[in-house]
Structure 1
Amino acid sequence: MIAFAPADHPVIAIAVVFPNQALSATGAEIAGPVMNCMIEGALAAAAGLPVSNTSSTCASK
């Protein structure tokens, strides 16, 4: 899955790859939550906002 943000003037591009994923799940189901957390953290950091415990917060979702 490849994503960029913000949509109107991208400054962040992220690729998430999960090799050998189960056939019963789609890429969006597996990579989507990871991508969301990464983009939220990157946008917060780019805006100068504090980004604390991002990995543990994302892992709990």
Structure 2
Amino acid sequence: MPTFWIDFGTKDAILAIAIIIILGMTIFFHWSAGEFIIAECAVVIAFYGGTLKQDKRITDKEKK
């Protein structure tokens, strides 16, 4: 029987939990689809921004 393995790390799990929480809040507080999409986009952008590398000029200033 073939087994399918998905490389699902800690960061992916945190993102999935955040999406599930927002989905639960959408159902509980009767948010519209637009509010759900805006909230999801904000979480994904914040998650993506947290994984970016710092600019070399900023790291050089911090070392001084």
Between Structure 1 and Structure 2, which shows a larger proportion of helix residues? 2
Please indicate, yes or no, whether the TM-score normalized by the shorter chain is above 0.5.
no
Per the normalisation by structure 1, the TM-score is 0.42
Q: Larger Rg: 1 or 2?
A: 2
Per the normalisation by structure 2, the TM-score is 0.41
Between Structure 1 and Structure 2, which shows a larger proportion of strand residues? 1
